[in-house]
């Protein structure tokens, strides 16, 4: 998982500057979005939501994480419950993004990760991220 530019600034402002100078600390609620194979690590790092998949039913799902644990010297959290996207369009999912807004195409990318393998989804399918499959680490 990679920290987006927005989140890097938010962390530094929060820890070292007491939320000063323009960058707000993100909301406490975190939402999970899916991104197509058209996106690149550069566009996600910069916070570009142009390739976010938005044709499934509803908003970005809310995610709750476990308490951090140390795994091989890295602080690690995982999603507690299964995350589902109903009524998916026909597409290829390449990335998962963590955002500060439930609205698709809105808000800021906080973290992003490329899937180990692209996931091809057919129209109408349910795309799932099983419990404890989404892992966020800090070293």
pLDDT above 90 as % of the chain: 62
Q: Are 136 and 77 in contact (CB under 8 A)?
A: yes
Q: What is the pLDDT of residue 11?
A: 74
Average pLDDT value for residue range 27-46: 90
Domain range list for the chain: 2-138
DSSP state of 39: -
Number of helices (H), then strands (E), in the chain: 2, 10
Task: Please give the mean pLDDT across all residues of the chain.
Answer: 88
Q: Are 112 and 95 in contact (CB under 8 A)?
A: yes
Q: Is the pLDDT of residue 130 over 70?
A: yes
Q: Is the pLDDT of residue 128 over 80?
A: yes
Q: Give per-residue pLDDT as tens, 110-121.
A: 899 999 999 999
Diameter of the chain measured on Cα atoms: 47
């Amino acid at each position: 998982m990679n920290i987006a530019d927005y989140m890097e600034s938010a962390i530094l402002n929060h820890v070292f500057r007491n939320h000063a100078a323009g960058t707000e600390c993100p909301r406490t609620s975190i939402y999970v979005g899916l991104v197509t194979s058209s996106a690149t690590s550069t566009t996600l790092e910069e916070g570009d939501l142009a390739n976010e998949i938005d044709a499934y039913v509803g908003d970005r799902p809310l995610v709750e994480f476990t308490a951090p644990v140390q795994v091989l010297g890295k602080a690690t959290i995982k999603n507690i419950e299964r995350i589902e996207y109903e009524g998916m369009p026909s597409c290829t999912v390449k990335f998962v993004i963590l955002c500060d807004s439930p609205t698709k195409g809105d808000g800021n990318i906080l973290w992003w990760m490329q899937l180990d393998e692209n996931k091809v989804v057919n129209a109408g399918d349910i795309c799932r991220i099983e419990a404890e499959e989404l892992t966020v680490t800090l070293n």
